[in-house]
Structure 1
Amino acid sequence: MTEHTNGLSEVLQRINALKRQSQVHDEHAMPVVDDSGHAGETGGIPRLTELYEGELPLAPVAMPASEPPVLNDFVESGEALPAVDIEPPPDLPPELTAEERSEALLAEMMPLIEAAARKAVLQELAAVEYSLTTLVEQEIVKSLKEKLKSGLS
């Protein structure tokens, strides 16, 4: 019963600490703008920048011709995108076929793949070991209690 009471008080203390933290975060929250554009504390959209109060409308910015082309330029003009030639890594002979290159790359990466797999297996084993240990301990305690009760009867 004492353990249950201690656990309950610990949970309540954590809840209170979280409530205090959320209240501190609420005090530092950004100002909120209502529908009329004025800052207030009620619901609405948070104000992230200053309000623009100028008279000039927003106009597109002219870009110099020396700028690199963007995808939209090609789409609008109907031109094909320029081809990009991807060369194989310099440490592989160029006469290899794509299949041979992929096999060479796989062979090169195999130690990394095996190490990652070993690490994942060890992590899973650690998690399973913990849960199994806990389960076995509980079963042992349960069986000992039953033996003691039957021995005392």
Structure 2
Amino acid sequence: MLKLLGASLVLLAATLAGFAQARQYADRPRQIRGLIAALQRLETEIRYGYTPLPEAMRRIAQQCREPLRGFFSRAASEMNPPRSASAQEGLELAMEALWKTTAMKAPEREVLRQLGCTLGTSDRADQTSHIAMALRQLGQEEISAREDQSKYEKMCRSLGLLLGALIVILIF
């Protein structure tokens, strides 16, 4: 009886690990789409709203779902007093603190890092052109993430279950 319980727990743990990895592949394209929508809103705020950058990021945070909500909220709070960080520093600090909570990878982080270098340091037209370039790059990353999802999501689920079964067979 105890062996059966142990085998069930091993099988369950391996299956859940496979499902957790598959969820990462499913969440990445969704989060990239959310980031694209957030940057489009930021572009609109900069171009038409004449909104200060910290206020624009705070508004964007209110419209996003987690983990992007926390990311933009943290960046906005870093740019507001008493810290009064630049946009680049605010985005960097938010990425350091919250990037691990996202399913996004290094290419998306690099796009945001490059965008942070130009936000708040040039005129509106230049900033909107840099945001447009970031949107194109993120669009390419979204396509890549969808391809990865179609390749690996189902495989991770199956592999978790099969790996659990293999461990149970080898142990017992």
TM-score higher than 0.5 here?
A: no
Structure with the higher fraction of residues in helix conformation: 2
Please classify the TM superposition score into its range, dividing by the shorter chain length: under 0.3
Higher Rg of the two aligned structures: 1
Structure having greater relative contact order (Cα 8 Å, sep ≥ 6): 2
Q: Tell me the TM-score normalized by structure 2.
A: 0.22
